């Protein structure tokens, strides 16, 4: 028998018992919808993670801060401890496997002035190599510090937008463009006592000298609010600044250069972050990473996927049993017909195919209708499921919960689901179909005579 | 036996055919050492009472039942011990069946029922449709083609059965009490039809019946009793 004849005969037989076929198909629909929704939520959550990771660019970064939070066995906060971050530690870190880059950091406060306007500038001094390693954003002006051209400040986009002027009742804000307006960098006056006999330290930004650059707006808040500087350049200007201070404060200021405020470690792969973090812990240092917040979240999402997967698998199992039952009934009803077909020269192979095709058709129909319903379910999840997922993900590094999609059906999923439906049909129809081939023609024709 | 008959080749050869059923410890010899030949184009009638074993012989000949021992040679091929798959192929190419209870498929129209053997033979749709329509016209049912079996009388159903048996032009036709469910008038019509169609295509017929009046249509009559041949008569 050719394919078309088999399909036609299969459809005819299925339409013979419409209610039974419909009910069996409904079983497959429920199974398909469960599985497709499960997969789509799994993919949706993963995509949200990946998006967060891309935006943040910081999932592979481990931070070692000067002050490390301590936690007791139950994970409760138990005070802070100060840790010394110096070059010995940097060397120790180099020995850890999977460490791609290490960036010692010194943080200082700075101020930018432009006419009567001023703004606070968080300054972060970092090794010049780090600019290529830590996912820094594009520059809208200038270049990042390099070996021959390191005497510059890299402005954060956010810093330049927050110039303000306040006096008495007036408060004005302004966006300053350093390529167009005169900007001067100074260290704030409130930290150290100035030596009144010395000239004030200040650094004038000059497009001609190329001593500044501007970062493009970034989704990573750190790059949006922190100005960067090469470590060597920072040391130079800090020494210059320190020389303008009183003798007592000059000593105090010079201590800033002796240890780092923090050390950033970039790990080669997101999967190794936890391992490296554990290795640093063994050195006796507390660490932070976005991964450590993401991990419980991923566990939650894995759990959701397992639960949904179990529901889907159960529904599919029940529908497979349902198909098998339908096929057994159908074969029982058609015993005589099968006998006649065999006597008329229908090959055993064709008898088996006939029933397998019927089972596959049930699976395919259920699969296709199931996919259509899955799209509706997915739409519903994305539209109305927000609060549930937002609650689950709130504590996490997913910043943009509002815009996140929780159910994503990729283009291959409908095809995979239809094929899977067919596959389930064929598998559950196989034993009944085999039974049909074993029917003896003579017995079959005796029955119902 | 004249010269012409001698020259004809044997279409069916049955040698020492036995079929033994086991019922607990008891052995029932349904077919007990039967041997006979049927020539090409011959109309052979197996007659006997109910339970004589005549239907079992037919089933064995058709390969529907497995023989306990002996040989059944159809068109030179021994079908005893032939695999299911080969047997199915052999049925497609060489055998046709007419049944007492018609054995039409209830969900199919007359035309579709007649087409069935050709579908199994994977004939092209156009060709098989043409052949089937032609065959239904021959049995006088051109106005009943789209009717389902339940919408037809017994005589009409049996004509569909005959059309189905002959449509693939098999060399051998087996008929098991083809008129068993029909009245006298229809019986004559159906028997005439079978005989006429077999003659047209020079086909061999083996028919089983308990009705002595039907033996007049046959060339050779074999009487069966208790699983044995008790009489062979050439008409």
Q: What is the 8-class DSSP label of residue A194?
A: B
Q: What is the pLDDT of residues A213-229, one digit of tens each?
A: 999 887 777 888 899 99
Q: Chain A closest CA to B111's CA: distance in Å? A: 14
DSSP per residue, A300-358? HHHHHHHHHHHHHHHHHHHHHHHHHHHHHHHHHHTHHHHHHHHHTT--HHHHHHHHHHH
Q: Which of A12, A16, A348 sits opposite B85 (nearest CB)?
A: A348
**Residue A331 near chain B (CB below 8 Å):** no
CA dihedral in degrees (B181, B184, B190, B193; nearest 10)? 170
Q: Strands, DSSP E only, in chain B? A: 10-23, 26-39, 43-47, 69-74, 77-78, 95-98, 172-176, 204-209, 220-225, 228-234
Residue ranges for chain B with pLDDT beneath 70: 1-7
Residues A21, A14 contacting (CB under 8 angstroms): yes
State the pLDDT at residue B15. Answer: 93
Give me the average pLDDT of each 10-residue run along chain A (449 residues): 85 89 92 87 76 64 81 70 83 87 89 89 87 83 87 89 84 86 88 85 85 85 87 91 89 86 86 86 83 73 79 86 91 87 88 91 93 91 75 53 72 89 90 85 64
Give the DSSP H or E segment for B122: none
State the pLDDT at residue A394. Answer: 53
State the pLDDT at residue A449. Answer: 43
Q: What is the 8-class DSSP label of residue A261?
A: S
A 2-21 near B (Cβ less than 8 A)? 2, 5, 12-13, 16
Q: Which residues in chain B have their CB less than 8 angstroms from residue A337's CB? A: 105-106
Q: Which residue of B has its CA nearest to A347?
A: B88
- Which residue, A126, A9, A32, is CA-closest to A364? A32
State the pLDDT at residue A397. Answer: 46
Output the six-digit token pair for A120.
């606070």
Pairing status of strand B228-234 against strand B220-225: antiparallel
**Residue B175 near chain A (CB below 8 Å):** no
**Residue A341 near chain B (CB below 8 Å):** yes
pTM of the model: 0.68
Residues A347, B120 contacting (CB under 8 angstroms): yes
Dist CA B92 CA B117 (whole Å): 7
Pairing status of strand A203-205 against strand A183-186: antiparallel
State the pLDDT at residue B159. Answer: 92
Say whether A2 and B92 touch across the interface (CB within 8 A): no
Angle ∠(B115,B117,B120) on CA atoms, nearest 5? 105
Question: What's the complex ipTM?
Answer: 0.88
Q: Which residue of A has its CA nearest to B62?
A: A343
């Amino acid at each position: 028998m050719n394919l078309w004849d088999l399909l036609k005969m299969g459809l005819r037989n299925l339409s013979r018992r419409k209610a039974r076929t419909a009910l069996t198909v409904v079983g497959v629909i429920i199974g398909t919808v469960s599985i497709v929704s499960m997969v789509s939520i799994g993919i949706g959550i993963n995509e949200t993670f990946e998006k967060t990771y891309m935006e943040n660019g910081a999932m592979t970064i481990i931070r070692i801060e000067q002050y490390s939070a301590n936690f007791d066995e139950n994970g409760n906060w138990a005070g802070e401890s100060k840790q010394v971050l110096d070059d010995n530690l940097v060397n120790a870190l180099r020995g850890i496997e999977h460490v791609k880059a290490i960036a010692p950091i010194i943080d200082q406060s700075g101020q930018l002035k432009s006419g009567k306007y001023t703004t606070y500038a968080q300054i972060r001094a970092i090794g010049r190599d780090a600019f290529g390693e830590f996912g820094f954003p594009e520059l809208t002006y200038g270049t990042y510090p390099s070996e021959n051209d390191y005497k510059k400040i890299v402005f954060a986009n956010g810093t330049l937008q927050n110039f303000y002027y306040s006096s008495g009742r007036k408060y004005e804000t302004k966006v300053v463009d350093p390529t167009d307006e005169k900007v001067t960098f100074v260290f704030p006056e409130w930290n150290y006592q100035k030596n009144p006999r010395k000239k004030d330290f200040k650094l004038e930004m000059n497009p001609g000298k190329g001593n500044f650059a501007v970062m493009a707006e970034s989704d990573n808040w750190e790059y949006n609010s922190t100005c960067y500087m090469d470590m060597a350049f920072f040391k130079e200007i800090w020494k210059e600044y320190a020389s303008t201070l009183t003798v007592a404060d000059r000593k105090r200021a010079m201590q800033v250069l002796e240890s780092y405020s923090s050390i950033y470690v970039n790990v080669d792969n997101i999967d190794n972050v936890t391992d490296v973090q554990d290795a640093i812990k063994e050195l006796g240092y507390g660490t932070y990473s976005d991964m450590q917040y993401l991990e419980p979240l991923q566990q939650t999402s894995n759990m959701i996927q397992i639960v949904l997967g179990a529901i889907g698998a159960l529904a599919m199992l029940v529908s497979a049993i349902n198909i098998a039952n339908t096929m057994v009934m159908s074969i029982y009803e058609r015993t005589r017909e099968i006998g006649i077909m065999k006597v008329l020269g229908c090959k055993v192979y064709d008898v088996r195919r006939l029933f397998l095709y019927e089972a596959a058709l049930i699976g395919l129909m259920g699969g296709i209708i199931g996919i259509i319903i899955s799209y509706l379910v997915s739409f519903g999840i994305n539209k109305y499921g927000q609060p549930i997922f937002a609650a689950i993900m709130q504590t996490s590094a997913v910043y943009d919960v509002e815009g996140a999609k929780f159910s994503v059906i990729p283009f291959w999923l409908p095809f995979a689901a239809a094929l899977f439906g067919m596959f389930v049909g064929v598998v559950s129809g196989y034993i009944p179909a085999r039974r049909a081939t074993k029917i003896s023609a003579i017995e079959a024709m005796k029955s119902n005579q | 036996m004249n010269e012409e008959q001698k020259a004809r080749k044997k279409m069916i050869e049955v040698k020492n055919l036995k079929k033994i059923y086991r019922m607990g410890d008891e052995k029932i010899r349904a077919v007990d050492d039967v041997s006979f030949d049927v020539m090409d184009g011959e109309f052979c009638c197996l007659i006997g009472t109910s339970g004589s074993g005549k239907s079992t012989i037919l089933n064995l000949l058709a390969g529907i039942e497995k023989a306990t021992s002996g040989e059944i040679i159809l068109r030179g091929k021994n079908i005893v011990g032939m695999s299911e798959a080969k047997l199915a192929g052999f049925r497609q190419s060489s055998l046709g069946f007419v049944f007492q209870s018609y054995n039409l498929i209830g969900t199919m129209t007359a035309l579709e029922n007649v087409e069935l053997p050709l579908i199994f033979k994977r004939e092209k749709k156009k060709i098989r449709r043409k052949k089937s329509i032609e065959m239904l016209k021959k049995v006088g049912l051109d106005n009943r083609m789209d009717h389902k079996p339940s919408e037809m009388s017994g005589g009409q159903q049996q004509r569909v059965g005959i059309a189905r048996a002959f449509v693939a032009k098999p060399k051998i036709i087996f008929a098991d009490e083809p008129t068993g469910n029909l009245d006298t008038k229809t019986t004559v019509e159906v028997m005439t039809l079978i005989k006429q169609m077999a003659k047209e295509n020079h086909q061999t017929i083996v028919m089983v019946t308990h009705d002595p009046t039907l033996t007049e249509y046959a060339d050779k009559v074999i009487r069966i009793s208790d699983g044995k041949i008790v009489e062979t008569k050439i008409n």
